[in-house]
Amino acid sequence: MNVCYTRYLFNFRGVAASFRFKHLFLCGSPVFHVGEEWLEFFYPQLQPWVHYIPVKQDLSNLRYSHL
């Protein structure tokens, strides 16, 4: 299944392949990034709400209005 066919893309830290996050940006869909425990070399260049939608690990800040 090609993830680029979905309307929204989620990156759950510790669940998906570590290299997946940077490839999600090529799809053109909004990327929801869950958790901030680990950092990859390019994370400092990313800006929340510009490049991705930040989501807390417990999903407490995820609202239906985001979708």
How many CB atoms are closer than 10 A to CB 58?
9
Flag whether 39 is in a domain. yes
Flag whether 32 is in a domain. yes
pTM (2 d.p.) = 0.75
Flag whether 15 is in a domain. yes
Flag whether 1 is in a domain. no
Element containing residue 21 per DSSP (H, E): helix 20-24
Which range of residues forms the domain containing residue 48? 11-56
- Total domains in the fold of the chain: 1
Flag whether 36 is in a domain. yes
Flag whether 43 is in a domain. yes
Our separate counts of H helices and E strands in the chain read 1, 3
AA letter at 1: M
Flag whether 62 is in a domain. no
pLDDT tens-digit map of 4-63: 888 888 888 766 666 788 888 889 899 998 877 777 888 889 999 999 999 988 888 887
Flag whether 20 is in a domain. yes
Decide if 22 contacts 42 (C-beta within 8 A). Answer: yes
